[in-house]
Structure 1
Amino acid sequence: MTDTIKIRSLNDSFRQILVFGGTVLLTPGVTSLPIERQAQLLELVRKFDRFTLGNDPHGEHDFGSIELDATRYFFRLDYYDETGRFASPDPADPTVTQRVMTIMRADEY
C-alpha cells in the first residue's frame, strides 16, 4: 500500500468517526452556530465524499468544502508529531502522527 493510500485511509477513518486518531477544532464561525447546526455541519463533514483533483490534488482526502444554509465551510486535516508541536515525520504512520481537523467558515480560512 502506498503512503498516499495509507494517509487517505487514516484521514477518511478519522473524519468519519471523529473520535479516534486526532483532534477536531471548530473555529468561532462554527461555534457561534446553534448546536443543531453544528451537529448538521459535523454530519456533512463525516459523510463528505466529493473529493476531486481540484480540492484533493494529492489524493489524501485532507480538505473539503461544504455548504450549509447558503454558507460555505471548509474542513482541513493537518499532521503533527506526537507532541503536537511539529510536523509529523510520517503522516502514513499513526504511531507518530496526531491528526488535527479544523472545521471553519470559508471566510475564516
Structure 2
Amino acid sequence: MNKIAVLNDAFRSTFRGGKVMVSSGVDELPDCVKAEALLRVASFSDFTADNDPHDEHDFGSFDLVGRKFFWKIDCYDQEMQYGSEDPSDPKRTTRVLTLMLASEY
C-alpha cells in the first residue's frame, strides 16, 4: 500500500491529523444517524478498483437509513488554498474529509 493510502487510512479511522466536514444535508440528519455515518466512514474497508483506482483510499460510499452517503478525502497545502504539492508528506498537507449525501453531489 502506498504512503498516501496509509496516511488517508490513519486520518479516516481516527479523524486526527486533518479536518472533517459534513454537508448541509448530513448536518440536518438526527445526531444518531450522523454518528453512525461517521462510524461507517472510520471503519470503511471496501476499496475496489472502481472506487479506488489510484490506491489512495480517498473515497467511499455506503447506504444508511435508506440514503446513500459519499465520503472523500482531499489533500490541501498547509494554508488550505491549493492542492498539496506532496500528499505523502504530512508536514506539507492538510487532509480534509467531507461526508455528504449522494443526492448532494
What corresponds to 1:23 in structure 2?
19
Q: Distance in 2 between matches of 1:62 and 1:53?
A: 12
The equivalent residue for 2:102 is 106
Task: Give the Å deviation of 1:70.
Answer: 1.5
Aligned with 1:95: secondary structure?
helix
Unaligned runs of 5+ residues in structure 1 are none
* Secondary structure of the structure 1 residue equivalent to 2:2: helix
Residues 26-58 of structure 1, C-alpha deviation per residue, up to 9 Å, x if partnerless?
001100010011000000000000000000000
**Pairs aligned (count):** 105
Give the counterpart letter for 1:68 in structure 2: L
User: What residue number does 1:11 align with?
Assistant: 8
Pick the aligned partner of 2:31 from 21, 24, 35.
35
The answer for unaligned runs of 5 or more in structure 2 is none
Matched with 1:93 is 89
1:57 aligns with 2:53: yes
TM-score (norm. length: structure 2): 0.97
RMSD across aligned positions (CA): 0.8
TM-score, normalised to structure 1, is: 0.94
Separation in 2 of the partners of 1:98 and 1:14? 10
